[in-house]
Amino acid sequence: MFILQLGLIGLCVALVPLSYIWGSGDPDKFRKLVWVTTFLTLDLVMFGGFTRLTDSGLGCPDWPGCYASSSPFVAHAAIHAAQQAMPSGPVTMSKAWIEMVHRYIAMAVGVLIIAQVVIAWLRRARLGINPWGPTGLLALVLVQGAFGAWTVTLKLQPVIVTTHLLLGLTLLAGLGWLAASRSASTGVGPRGKPFGVAVSPESARWRGAAILGLVLLVIQIALGGWVSTNYAVLACTDFPTCNGQWLPTMDFANGFHLWRALGRTGDGGFITQDALVAIHWTHRTFAFVVFFYVGWLALKLRQDPALRGLATGLAGVLVLQVATGLANVLLAWPLPVAVAHNGGAAILLLLLCMLNFRLVSRRAIVAAAPSQAGASA
């Protein structure tokens, strides 16, 4: 029964953005739906970071409900009993609400993607939509839901939590690509603004560099997720050295042993400080590689007027991402800064995916340019 109640809650949450889309004056409701879903997924990724950083991942120690209920209101007695039994434990009313709000938003995103799939299949000829793109995203949502369940049932096992994060970001990237594709076909971006994709032919030579930049960023995000899920942010408490050393003692074998419980080594012992330092130091060191490479790429792509806006945004967020990363270490991991750092990584991924889309779609646009020029003449 509570499963049905959860579904109704997710549907009610989804009705808010659906009502906004339906009531908007945008003639292409599908394009609007994809963009709104993309922005809501970005919010979901950031709220997922907030859930993890507030130690609310086990605020409801079962899945998909909370003590087999649809909300913490109904599960109030069970939550209170768990908090009384273990006052410093993972279950409190506030943590339960944080965890369930995260799940409600996730269900709403699922409803919006189901709506995309239905529209894409029913109106594929009229709208010129390839329905397999939204269908693939729906399949990804189902896999993501499974990892969300395992995150709880396996008690925040780092490899599961990190994979859950990476799948959420993959969903965000896929939605961003779909949104850019739909806007390119209509010439209209979010909020009804023109969406120009006519990049210069010279930009084609940066296509491989942009793909490499995306690969490097994904590796860095995975390393950052490993830092967060192992709570290794404060393993190094200074900068640019790590605990006063340029090359501290590190235990890479245990730090990067994937299949193990939170706070444990592969053989069941407690994870050491040297292992946590190895995790933190690797993420910090690779950040320099990503910063200089993606920063260089953004400066190069700014030379094309069609890419200038995205490239400028990429450079700006990159600088802010470094600033929040340093603040996490020097200010002892303040929650707002940590959430902003998680969100910055998601925005960087979204911007770099859209830059890659513009470069990949260049041939069709350039091929169409002569006919467009002749029509305008």
Annotated active-site positions, please?
99
**Burial (CB count <10 Å: 0-12, 13-18, 19+), residue 327:** middle
Please name the residue that has the structure tokens 């993420």: 283
Tokens of 327: 């603040």
| Total residues belonging to the chain | 377
Which residue(s) pair with 188 in the sheet?
194
CA distance 361 to 371: 17
Task: Output the 3-class SS for 106-141.
Answer: HHHHHHHHHHHHHHHHHCHHHHCCCCHHHHHHHHHH
Contacts for 274 with CB less than 8 Å, ≥ 6 apart: 248, 249, 250, 251, 254, 255
CA 177 from centroid of its chain's CA atoms: 14
